[in-house]
Amino acid sequence: MSLASTLVDKLRLPAMQAPMFLISGPDMVVNACRAGIIGSFPTQNARTPEILDEWLSQITKRLASEQITSPWAVNLITHPTYVRGKEDFEIILKYKPPIVITALGSPAALVEQVHNYGGIVLADVINPSYAKKAAAAKVDGLVLVSAGAGGHTGYLSPFVFVQEIRKWWQGLLVLGGGIGTGEAVLATQAMGADIAYLGTRFIPTHESLCQTEYKQMVVDSNSNDIVISDAITGVKANWLRQSLANGGYDPDNMPVTGKIDFASASGAENKRWKDIWAAGQGVDSSTAIQAISEIVETLSSEYQRSLANLLERKKPCTQPAKKGVLI
């Protein structure tokens, strides 16, 4: 059985709650897994290594006590400016999460050590060049971040991205970018990916770490309220228009590219993040602040309904074709 099949068989829905800066924490991870999808969080959300250690301990114990089998993941920035990278990774090795997702840098230095304890490594990539570098580092799967993703975003259409990668990569493929419904999760599989990567859909949840005002802004927004800019972090990212204005920017005239610097990424008090909030183009999928369990229930119902409709459309036509009419 392939790695993709092994993972998907453990899930209620082929979906992962994507790791989100200052949003994902232990409650989100545990409740996502409890609902039957993959839960995850970025290590920098824990403001110190000591807090990260406590979070990983808490997640491990809570899942074990409830005998929850859905896999979970930690996301580690591997960019050279993230000064806590080595220390965070040592803590990861202590708790052995089933999945480690690398972002904004090479996964090469950690693949073997994660494999040694039985974990798998997924690399977050935004184009085929980065995907090939990650594959060369012997990762187990690729997370394709396509156009429309919240926060750190890609620029390729998901149709194009998956098509190009599947020409040479037969391993696990996770796809993100504007996915917020069960129909979109099914479409992810139809395109050739294995698991959908959903972030924005889980911002307005009770388990989210962010401010109530942030959650409500997501609920109140649609795709017209999303602005792409590399001025804030130095990498292309999607931001809520009103939050940029609240942070003192003109959303229609953003500054030139900012400097890539994750040295202070763990500082939740950083002024940049007080008012400036990320969200993807699928923001319109959220209509209320809900529990993760409610959202997964909705996504699952949408997925099953969409699948049934698709199978109904594919039933063979039993009526003879009329001249000049396409069936």
pLDDT tens profile 121-179: 999 999 999 999 999 999 999 999 999 998 889 999 999 999 999 999 999 999 999 99
Domain count, the chain: 2
The strand pair at 151-152 and 172-176 is best described as unpaired
Asked, for residue 65, whether it belongs to a domain, the answer is yes
What pLDDT, on the 0 to 100 scale, is given for residue 277?
Answer: 95
Provide the pairing of β-strand 226-229 with 237-240.
Answer: antiparallel
User: What mean pLDDT do residues 271-299 have?
Assistant: 91
Q: What is the pLDDT of residue 178?
A: 95
282 within a domain of the structure (yes/no): no
Kindly report which listed range (88-92, 191-195, 263-267, 289-293) carries the lowest average pLDDT score.
263-267
Does residue 170 sit in the same domain as residue 219?
A: no
Question: Is 62 in the same domain as 187?
Answer: yes
Q: What is the mean pLDDT of the chain?
A: 91
What residue type is 248 in one-letter code? G
Q: How many CA atoms lie less than 13 Å away from 95 in the CB half-sphere? A: 23
Instruction: Classify residue 100: in a domain, yes or no.
Output: yes
Q: With respect to residue 112, please indicate whether it lies within any of the assigned structural domains.
A: yes
Q: How large is the average pLDDT for residues 243-272?
A: 71
Sign of the CA dihedral running 209, 213, 219, 221: negative
Higher pLDDT: 225 or 234? It is: 225
Query: Is the pLDDT confidence value at 327 over 50?
Result: no
Domain limits for position 128 = 3-210+288-313
Measured in whole angstroms, how far is the alpha carbon of residue 11 from the centre of its chain? 16
Beta strands in the chain (DSSP E): 15-17, 39-42, 72-77, 99-103, 120-125, 141-145, 151-152, 172-176, 195-198, 226-229, 237-240
Helix (H) or strand (E) holding 308: helix 292-313
Q: Are residues 99 and 234 in the same domain?
A: no
Kindly list the strands in the beta sheet with 72-77, ordered across the sheet, starting from the edge strand earlier in the chain: 15-17, 195-198, 172-176, 141-145, 120-125, 99-103, 72-77, 39-42
CA dihedral 190, 194, 199, 201 (to 10 degrees): 50
pLDDT for residue 263: 54
Task: Read off the CATH number of the domain in which 141 is found.
Answer: 3.20.20.70
Enter the pTM of the model: 0.90
Q: Is residue 160 domain-shared with residue 226, that is, in the same domain?
A: no
Helix or strand holding residue 240 (H, E): strand 237-240
User: pLDDT value at position 269?
Assistant: 43
- Looking at the structure, tell me whether residues 169 and 64 fall in a common domain: yes
Same domain, 191 and 77: yes
Q: What pLDDT was estimated at residue 314?
A: 73
Q: Are residues 152 and 296 in the same domain?
A: yes
Same domain, 81 and 201: yes
The answer to whether residue 217 is domain-embedded is: yes
223 pLDDT more than 50: yes
Q: Tell me the pLDDT band of 257, cut-offs 50, 70 and 90.
A: confident
Average pLDDT value for residue range 44-64? 97
What's the mean pLDDT in 192-219? 97
Q: Are residues 162 and 259 in the same domain?
A: no
Give domain status of residue 45, yes or no: yes
Q: Is residue 326 part of a domain?
A: no
**Mean pLDDT for the stretch of residues 54-59:** 98
Residue 12: inside a domain:
yes
Q: Which has more confidence, 109 or 215?
A: 215
For the segment 188-214, the average pLDDT, to the nearest whole number, is: 97
Q: Are residues 189 and 72 in the same domain?
A: yes
Model confidence pLDDT, tens digit, residues 61-118: 999 999 998 999 999 999 888 889 999 999 999 999 999 999 988 898 899 999 999 9
pLDDT one-digit tens code per residue, 119-129:
999 999 999 99
Position 234 scores a pLDDT of 81
User: What pLDDT score does 266 carry?
Assistant: 46
Question: CA-CA distance, 301 to 38, in Å (whole number)?
Answer: 18
239 and 105: one domain? Answer: no
pLDDT score for 267: 46
Residue 322: predicted pLDDT: 57
Q: In 3D, which of 190, 78, 80 has the Cα closest to residue 123?
A: 78
Answer yes or no: is pLDDT of 268 > 90: no
pLDDT value of position 93: 97
Residue 275 is predicted with a pLDDT of 81
Does one domain contain both 123 and 258?
no
Question: What pLDDT score was predicted for residue 317?
Answer: 61
- Lowest mean pLDDT of 85-99, 226-240, 275-289, name the range: 226-240
